[in-house]
């Protein structure tokens, strides 16, 4: 435990204000606000341990199944803190980071020997052992997991901030109320 459990990865990005507005259809201020209220305060009020994120477990589980990992390891591997803050010269750009301290993952043995899972690992360039640098493929796969989690966090938080998530659920019959235009 002194050296941690699994791989520790921090992924970060700065999303330009124009991309936040035109692609994510929201504002940096709204993204930061939703992150504080949902991921930080909401998770704390729910008694979450290591789960200060929107839906890291969904992403981790999908990748684990596709890549031959033990899907039950998503419990510890999904520990993730997602942070967002305004940045840039005008404080309109969005800084986002995901810190995942315990990604339990490998590229050799177990389910990684199954042909469909091997194909997924090959697509990602991490199938099997790295002959030149043992463990590097597992480390790279952990980085891929964290980067994908961050992309998912960005997408879901933007959908929440813009009101798109609730609206789409209402329109697509997840409620008896029909809000179609």
CATH architecture of 7-171: Alpha-Beta Complex (3.90)
Does the model's pTM come out above 0.95?
no
Q: How far apart are CA 71 and CA 74, in angstroms?
A: 6
How confident is the prediction for the chain on average, in pLDDT? Answer: 92
Q: What is the pLDDT of residue 2?
A: 64
Cα dihedral 135, 141, 142, 143, rounded to 10, equals 110
SS3 12: strand
| pLDDT band of 175, cuts 50, 70, 90 | low
- Helix (H, G, I), strand (E, B), or coil: what is residue 117? helix
d(CA 135, CA 129): 7
- pLDDT tens profile 60-102: 999 999 999 999 999 999 999 999 999 999 999 999 999 999 9
């Amino acid at each position: 435990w002194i050296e941690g459990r699994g791989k520790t990865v921090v992924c970060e990005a700065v999303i330009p204000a124009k991309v936040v507005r035109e692609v994510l259809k929201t504002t940096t201020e709204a993204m930061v606000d939703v992150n504080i209220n949902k991921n930080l305060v909401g998770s704390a009020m729910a008694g979450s341990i290591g789960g200060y994120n929107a839906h890291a477990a969904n992403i981790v589980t999908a990748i684990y199944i596709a890549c031959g990992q033990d899907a039950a390891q998503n419990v510890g591997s999904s520990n993730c803190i997602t942070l967002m803050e305004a940045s840039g010269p005008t404080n309109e750009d969005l800084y986002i980071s995901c810190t995942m301290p315990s990604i339990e993952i490998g590229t050799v043995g177990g389910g990684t020997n199954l042909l469909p899972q091997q194909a997924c690992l090959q697509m990602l360039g991490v199938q099997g052992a790295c002959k030149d640098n043992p463990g590097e493929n597992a480390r790279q796969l952990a980085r891929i997991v964290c980067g994908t989690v961050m992309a998912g966090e960005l997408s879901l938080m933007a959908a929440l901030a813009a009101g798109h998530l609730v609206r789409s659920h209402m329109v697509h019959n997840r409620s008896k109320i029909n809000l179609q235009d």
